[in-house]
């Protein structure tokens, strides 16, 4: 087996690769190059490396993983690309760690443990709380403010997600007006 480069920034680049529209064979080869480097390898080595990387980075200390989704899109509370600034600021605020200085050094596993342990007052954790907030817990001006915050910090959504959100918002408005 090869020594794999699990630096956090390499894993984040890999997430982008996995989500890309490239053919699976290209993704597998690029995964091998990203984590091992340019060495002679068989197709079997490349496939094993892809499987190992996928399994290793999708492990969570709490709850279950979704086997078919190594990137973790099933957990839509955050997006590494969209939230990169908030993550960076939160690491500085909570741990005094400059993630730019840690590129190529900090392992994915350490990064993920620190991310999971961020202070609840960090900007990243506050954004997640806003995204997960149940609008039925708010009324009047607070509801309007929370809707604005949720829209501002929302993740990119599929048309189906947007329709479900719009339906939910409409239903809540009807309930507030006593029409349901």
Residue 129 has pLDDT above 50, yes or no: yes
Q: Give me the chain's average pLDDT, please.
A: 87
Percent of the chain with pLDDT over 70: 79
- Predicted confidence at residue 22, as pLDDT, reads 96
Distance (Å, whole) CA 77 – CA 139:
23
Confidence of residue 60 (pLDDT cuts 50, 70, 90): confident
pTM for this model (two decimals): 0.77
Confidence of residue 91 (pLDDT cuts 50, 70, 90): very high
Residue 72 has pLDDT above 50, yes or no: no
Residue 169 has pLDDT above 80, yes or no: no
What average pLDDT does range 56-60 have in this prediction?
87
What average pLDDT does range 39-60 have in this prediction?
93
């Amino acid at each position: 087996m090869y020594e794999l480069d699990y630096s956090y920034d390499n894993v984040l680049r890999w997430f982008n690769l996995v989500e890309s529209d490239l053919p699976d064979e290209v993704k597998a080869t690029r995964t091998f190059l990203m984590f091992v480097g340019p060495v002679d390898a068989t197709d079997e080595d490349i496939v094993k490396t892809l499987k190992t990387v996928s399994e290793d980075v999708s492990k969570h200390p709490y709850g279950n993983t979704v086997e078919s989704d190594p990137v973790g899109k099933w957990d839509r509370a955050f997006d590494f690309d969209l939230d990169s600034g908030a993550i960076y600021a939160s690491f500085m605020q909570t741990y005094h760690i400059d993630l730019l200085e840690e590129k190529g050094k900090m392992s994915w596993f350490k990064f993920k443990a620190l991310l999971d342990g961020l202070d609840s007052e960090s900007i990243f954790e506050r954004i997640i709380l806003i995204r997960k907030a149940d609008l039925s817990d708010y009324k009047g001006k607070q509801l309007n403010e929370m809707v604005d915050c949720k829209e501002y910090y929302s993740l990119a959504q599929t048309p189906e997600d947007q329709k479900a959100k719009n339906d939910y918002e409409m239903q809540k408005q009807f309930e507030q007006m006593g029409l349901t």
